[in-house]
Amino acid sequence: MLFCAACEHEVHSMRLFEHHRKGERDRVVPWELFSLTLPWATFDRLLGCGTELAAWFGKVLATLVHVLKREPSRSGVYLPDPLAMLAALQPSAVTRATELYGVVETSGAHTRGAVVFDWAHATTNKPNCTLVQDMDYDAFVAFLERVFAERS
């Protein structure tokens, strides 16, 4: 299973890390990875390709883009869901990852709905997930180009 940590609402509807299948590990794409942004020129070029999907995507993101473009320090847009999709569909685009034990905090003792990792290996639990730490930017752009270029 792929879990995009940016989609916090999904934590409540999934029993993350509690359903291991034939030794597969869950792949987690965390918030920190979303510093991988598309520059505005690239984003605008992709949305301008003329397909129905690109037009729809532009409408869905219109409010976010409007807000982000008003931030002087913002050089582009972050797209967490397509980035997580790329990690699932093209694992070779993942350039750095760490095998860790992780659980979703559900008791509310320290937080609620957050994924907590055993970075210090303080437990005897074996790794049950792969934490994606970096991805190939060019592969991300190529993925988006392929997706948006497909005929609707």
Residue 97's pLDDT is 92
At 120 the pLDDT is: 92
What pLDDT was estimated at residue 20?
Answer: 42
pLDDT at 82: 86
**Per-residue pLDDT, 24:** 63
Q: Alpha helices, DSSP H only, in the chain? A: 9-13, 40-47, 52-60, 62-69, 80-89, 137-149
* Cα angle for residues 31, 130, 107 (degrees, 5° grid): 65
Contact in structure between 81 and 4 (CB atoms under 8 Å): yes
pLDDT of residue 23: 55
141 Cβ contact partners less than 8 Å away, ≥ 6 residues apart: 38, 42
Mean pLDDT by runs of 10 across the 152 residues of the chain is: 44 39 66 80 92 91 92 88 86 92 80 83 90 91 89 56
* pLDDT (0 to 100) of residue 130: 87
